[in-house]
Amino acid sequence: MKRYYLLLICCLWAIAIAPVTITHAATTPFTTTECTKDAPTERTVECGTMTLPLYADGSKPGTVELPIMIVRSATATQHLPLFLLQGGPGGDTIDTFQFLVKKPHSTLPNDRDLVFFEQRGTSHAKPSLNCPEIHDQMITLLAKKVSHTEQLQLNKTAWQACRDRLSKEGIDLGAFNSQRNADDVAAIAAALKYPQIDLYGVSYGTLLAQHVVQRHPTLVRALILDSVVPMHEDVNLWYRNSGDQAIRNGFADCAANIACDHDYPDIRNEYIALVNKLNNQPLMLDLHDHVSGNTYPSLIDGDALAGFVFQMHYDEELVTYLPMLIHQISRGNYTTFTTLASFFVFEDSMSEGMQASTTCSEEVMPKASDFHLPAQSLLPIRADDVAFDVADETQWCAIAAVPHLDASVNQALQSDIPTLVYSGRYDPITPVQFGDAVLPGLPNSRHIVFARTAHGSFVSNECAGQIGVAFLDNPQRKWTELSAICDINQKAIFATSQTLRQTTFMYQLLQGAPAVMPWLYLIVAVSCLLSSIFFIRPLKMLYKIMRGIHTPPMLQQLHWAELIASISALGVVSYLTYIAVDSSLNMDGYGIIFGIPTTYTALSVLLYSLPISIFVLWYAAYRIYTAPLITTGETPTHATAPATWQTFTYASIILLSSVVLLGTLLFNGIYGGWPW
């Protein structure tokens, strides 16, 4: 009889757990879809979606649909797939990582499958928790200065409107958190028939990766945590401290660099003075939204500038341009800053609802005393600044109204999985001490601090990429072997007059900015004129030589001067076109926004040959004008006078066109800096 009871209990248990298994099997097929036009073309790419249960245990009905991209290995290897987890929380994954795969000198490995998916609730997932209400509110405030009290009320109104809309759509925000995201990773791996994976996470992706390991401990073979968010730390409590330290590190490295210190002496104090000046006398600049095509007057005070500087420290390359940018603004040159600020202001890839539901389900609401502030901040921190942070996060989570997860989400991860931990000295949000904080629970881990990286070392720094790939090839490699691969202490190379010709002209041309279109039309007109003359004069010279027609030596000199000037002018235009095309195709770096790298040595030669050739042409034309037909043993005749006048006219046109082109290039800073 006991056997029957035991059999009955087993059957009931099987029925109880059956829905989980059946749900996964029935709702997670990979459905192939067409890839976007931005998908990598150098490797085989598969795109599709998966429909997953809202709750993996089937406790509540509903599903989520997640877009997925698989970039297949370029070689026939047996490596495990590398799953890549994006940060935020709420950031777009596929748009980010497909760009990083295509990027020249990409640090992502090409000898294994790369798998990335849109986390539930993000902009391209279904349902999406994106909040256009918040983005729209931000745009309406661009030209205004509001107090903390007003800002709190405006934030509350916009977020409440989004929250109410999501509720009306029947969306359960309680299902959008790190634990549910972690279950999605396991479900996707199972559906793609990957019994085990390697896992990479950046920023919030590191927190999600820790949840994956905690909930599915046998799924991950090797783990890379890049710019770590510890499970037992609240990033929001540290951002003023970590941001201050990152900015100090950048200024200190500039001061220690001979070229940077020469061009931007005392950049630290110049920055402090600039912030104070703008707080007293704000700027009103026009920022252009490249998505909508609209331009918005925007008030830029010192606090806004400090916010931009903080954001720039997310990217190690942008850090190298920061001293140049601060120096430009201090001198009243806002063109580059306006271009760059437009990207930060109008970027709208973050799903605010998903960020709220994920963050508020894990973090404990802070008090003012919980915040870690720098001992001596570069910029003053007012008491009402911290009070605003507390009030804003409190009302943010009150409106989100999501249940708090169990206590395990705030405990340090304990795992013996081989782990590589990355931190960058310029990282403003996940400081080095966060990397140290996860080490006690990960006995099989190594922490690497890169001297010149910021937020996300593995995907942006060549050395970090090389070490990461070597680690994935053999997670048991000794630290001494990994550290010998490349120099982790390499310092940043800052943009200076030795490395860059400062001008936004090329980038504005690429973007079709209205302000530079007249200059483009002028350059095209001059180039067409020079092209026609360039072809006419050599052909005419060749015709005379073949027919044996005598040309006075002075006219020959003028012809050669015309030819040299035309070649120089057209060479400059052609090479600038090459730079523009090369920059737009390669999509590698921010250099084109700030200017033209001095590594384009051919441009340097052409830029200096142009004024020299113009002078030679002017001198030759001047001699023709003063003595048009005076040559040894010859007497001017009526038959040759028109030809001489025609030659002089051609020379004048070439001379004028070349001078116009030279003036245009000078005015737009192609020669480096601003002529005034």
Report pLDDT for 12. Answer: 32
Q: Where in the chain are the domains?
A: 26-129+173-234+411-483, 236-400, 503-667
What span, in angstroms and rounded, lies between the C-alpha atoms of 410 and 237? 14
Q: At residue 596, does pLDDT exceed 90?
A: no
> Which pLDDT value is given to residue 190?
94
The CATH label, of 1.10.357.10, 3.40.50.1820, 3.30.43.10, 3.40.50.10680, for the domain at 26-129+173-234+411-483 is 3.40.50.1820
Q: Tens digits of per-residue pLDDT, 29-42?
A: 899 999 988 899 88
Q: How many angstroms separate the CA atoms of 658 and 676, rounded?
A: 21
According to the per-residue pLDDT averaged within each range, which of 98-112, 269-283, 633-647 is highest? Answer: 269-283
Q: Mean per-residue pLDDT for 256-273?
A: 97
Q: In this predicted model, which residue has the larger pLDDT, 188 or 628? A: 188
Task: For residue 28, name the pLDDT band (cuts at 50, 70, 90).
Answer: low
User: CA quadruple 380, 337, 342, 101: dihedral positive or negative?
Assistant: negative
Residue 642: the pLDDT is 53
Q: What is the band of 673 on the pLDDT scale with cuts at 50, 70, 90? A: low
Instruction: DSSP for 220-279, please give it.
Output: EEEEEEES---TT--GGGTHHHHHHHHHHHHHHHHHHSHHHHHHSTTHHHHHHHHHHHHH
More confident residue, 21 or 188: 188
- pLDDT confidence of residue 641: 53
pLDDT digits (tens, 9 = 90+) for 300-347: 999 999 999 999 999 999 999 999 999 999 999 998 999 899 988 998
**H helix or E strand, kind and range, residue 544:** helix 517-547
The crossing angle, in degrees rounded to 10, of helices 316-330 and 335-346 is 130
Q: Which amino acid is at 555?
A: L
Residue scoring higher pLDDT (446 or 584): 446
**Which of residues 483 and 345 earns the better pLDDT score?**
345
Average pLDDT of the segment spanning 579-594: 74
Provide the pLDDT for residue 528: 83
- Predicted confidence at residue 585, as pLDDT, reads 63
User: Which of the four pLDDT bands, split at 50, 70 and 90, describes residue 58?
Assistant: confident
Comparison of pLDDT for 544 and 238, the residue scoring more: 238
What is the percent of the chain where pLDDT is above 90? 63
Q: State the average pLDDT over residues 253-277.
A: 97
Ranked by mean pLDDT, which of 430-444, 468-482, 662-676 comes out on top? Answer: 430-444
Q: Which helix (H) or strand (E) is 51 found in, with range?
A: strand 45-53
Across 133-137, 344-348, 364-368, 667-671, least confident range:
667-671
- The pLDDT of residue 1: 34
pLDDT the model gives residue 548? 77
Q: 566 versus 66: which is more confidently predicted?
A: 66
Q: Tell me: pLDDT of 467 over 90.
A: yes
- Please give the average per-residue pLDDT across 630-639, as a whole number: 46
Does the pLDDT of residue 572 top 50, yes or no? Answer: yes
Q: Residues 82-87: what's their mean pLDDT?
A: 97
Does the pLDDT at position 22 exceed 70?
no
| pLDDT score for 420 | 97
Mean pLDDT score of the chain, rounded to an integer? 88
Contact 412, 231 (CB under 8 A): yes
Query: Which range is least confidently modeled, 150-159, 251-260, 268-277, 359-368?
Result: 359-368
* Secondary structure percentages of the chain, helix, strand, coil, to 5: 55, 10, 35
Packing angle of the helix pair 316-330, 239-256 (nearest 10 deg): 80
The pTM is what? 0.87
Neighbours of 248 (CB within 10 A): 16
Report the pLDDT value the prediction gives residue 631, as an integer from 0 to 100.
46
Q: In this model, does residue 628 exceed pLDDT 80?
A: no
Tell whether the model's pLDDT for residue 598 goes beyond 90. no
How many CB atoms are closer than 10 A to CB 667?
14
The pLDDT assigned to 504 comes to 83
> What whole-number distance in Å separates Cα of residue 43 and Cα of residue 46?
10
In the structure, what pLDDT confidence band is assigned to residue 603 with cuts at 50, 70 and 90?
Answer: confident
pLDDT at 2: 34
pLDDT digits (tens, 9 = 90+) for 108-140: 999 999 999 999 999 999 999 999 999 999 999
